[in-house]
Amino acid sequence: MDSLGIIGAVSILTAGLTIAIGSIGPAFGEARAASQALSAIAQQPDEANTITRTLFVSLAMIESTAIYCFVVSMILIFANPFWAAALQAGG
Amino acid sequence: MRISPDEWVFWVWRGFELNATIAFTWAIMALLVAISFLVTRRLSDDEQISPFQNCLEVLVTGLGDQIRDITRQDPGRYLPFVGTLFIFIATANLFSVVPGYVAPTGSLSTTTALALSVFVAVPVFGVAARGIGGYLKQYFQPTPLMAPFTIISEFSRTIALAIRLYGNAMSGAMIVGILISVTPFFFPVIMQLFGLLTGLIQAYIFAVLAMVYIASAAQAEETTLEPNQTSNKER
């Protein structure tokens, strides 16, 4: 396999691994945050406004780690710098 | 597939490229300014107010209440900056239901510019509230050993702010693009609707985080209010 093929194969494999592993942690974290917030709302329905707002903010912050993984995998697939460099060197 | 609206260039003039990001940003700015100008030209304080004025008042007082709840401070000073961030990002994201429109928040340049403006606003509001000495003192607050980490966190949270908004807006457009080629017509519409919710929440998150960062820099002890003490709802 030439270097272009190796770069392409490794990029695709790494992109898949990145998004697969990178979504496990945030999924667990978000599930935990949501279940805690639900039980908190069930215990104190009066505070539902504050809890919901804090929940949304913390969900977005947890989710951002998954978003970073998504950005990295998108860069690997669509805007890979090594792929471009190898194309330029080859052609 | 275009990964960023930066690569969609409308026309080039003497090395200056007018790409989709700049064009749509200007369009949104013009729209917001035009609506605000038309509505605020005829403000009335009677009992009869126009529906547009009512809408703007609801928006402004709602933002003010949110800021007061989050910071426990008077929102008047922060409302223009944080409110502008929220309204701009929300409008930019919500217009993505219009065909042919690409959200400028899906470009890393826009989100970096917004995050940099927050990065600059934090010391500006901090110095305005506490003076230069008081603002600089908080870097050495528990011990001077913490100063490098505080400075690192200032940079890393700016980067995180930019990447978070960019990733969310870009992933919405990207997933719709991929779904159109796999299962056309139905699922892209669902994801587009979901993208509206995500866009609004992300605008809210961006504004809330900017507000939290600014408030932590500008925490003046004596102006702390009880939550909802002066809220308009309870008057």
The span from the CA of A14 to the CA of B220, in Å, is: 48
**Core vs surface per residue B29-58: b (16+ CB within 10 A) or e:** eeeeeeeeeebeeeeeeeeeeeeeeeebee
Which two tokens mark B108? Answer: 């890393």
Chain B residues in contact with A50 by the CB 8 A cut-off are 69
CATH of A10-86, one of 1.20.20.10, 2.60.120.650, 3.40.50.1980, 3.60.21.10: 1.20.20.10
CB contact under 8 A, B170 and A74: yes
Q: A67 at the B interface (CB within 8 A)?
A: yes
Q: A36 at the B interface (CB within 8 A)?
A: no
What mean pLDDT is predicted for residues B115-124?
94
Give the pLDDT confidence of A3-60 residue by residue, as tens digits: 888 888 999 999 999 999 999 999 999 999 999 999 999 999 998 888 888 888 888 8
CB contact under 8 A, A64 and B160: yes
CB-CB contact of B74 with B225 (8 Å): yes
Closest chain A residue by Cα to residue B108:
A71
Size of interface A-B (CB pairs under 8 A): 39
Chain B residues in contact with A61 by the CB 8 A cut-off are 205
Q: Quickly state the pLDDT bin for B146 (edges 50, 70, 90).
A: confident
CB contact under 8 A, A71 and B167: yes
Which two tokens mark B200? Answer: 């609004």
- For the ranges A20-29, A68-77, B151-160, the maximum mean pLDDT occurs at A20-29
The span from the CA of B97 to the CA of B232, in Å, is: 34
ipTM field: 0.73
CB contact under 8 A, B69 and A57: no
Beta-carbon contacts of residue A47 (< 8 Å; ≥ 6 apart): A40, A41
**Core vs surface per residue A27-45: b (16+ CB within 10 A) or e:** eebbeebeeebeebbeeee
CB-CB contact of A4 with A89 (8 Å): no
Helix (H, G, I), strand (E, B) or coil at B39: helix
The domain in which residue B23 lies consists of 5-234
In this structure, the number of other CB atoms found within 10 A of the CB of residue A25 comes to 13
Question: What backbone torsions phi and psi does residue B9 show, to the nearest 5 degrees?
Answer: -100, 125
What is the CB-side half-sphere exposure of residue B40 using CA atoms within 13 A?
9
State the pLDDT at residue B230: 47
Dihedral angle computed from the Cα positions of residues A74, A76, A80 and A86, in that order, rounded to the nearest 10 degrees: -150
Residue, of A91 and A7, whose pLDDT is higher:
A7
Helix (H, G, I), strand (E, B) or coil at B16: strand
In 3D space, the residue among B93, B104, B118, B148 whose CA is nearest the CA of residue B212 turns out to be: B118
Q: Quickly state the pLDDT bin for B3 (edges 50, 70, 90).
A: low
Q: Quickly state the pLDDT bin for B224 (edges 50, 70, 90).
A: very low
- Bridge-partner residues for B12, per DSSP? B17
The span from the CA of A20 to the CA of A66, in Å, is: 10
The span from the CA of B46 to the CA of A2, in Å, is: 77
CB-CB contact of A75 with A19 (8 Å): no
What mean pLDDT is predicted for residues B139-158?
85
Which two tokens mark B176? Answer: 């719709």
Asked whether the CA dihedral B123, B128, B129, B131 is positive or negative, the reply is positive
- For the ranges A25-29, B39-43, B174-178, B200-204, the maximum mean pLDDT occurs at A25-29
Q: Quickly state the pLDDT bin for A87 (edges 50, 70, 90).
A: confident
Closest by Cβ to B164, choosing from A56, A64, A79: A64
CB contact under 8 A, A68 and B202: no
In 3D space, the residue among B85, B82, B102 whose CA is nearest the CA of residue B93 turns out to be: B102
In 3D space, the residue among B101, B171, B54, B188 whose CA is nearest the CA of residue A75 turns out to be: B171
For chain A, positions 1-30, list CB contacts with chain B under 8 A. none
CB contact under 8 A, B69 and A79: no
Q: How many domains does chain B have?
A: 1
Q: A78 at the B interface (CB within 8 A)?
A: yes
Q: Quickly state the pLDDT bin for B229 (edges 50, 70, 90).
A: very low
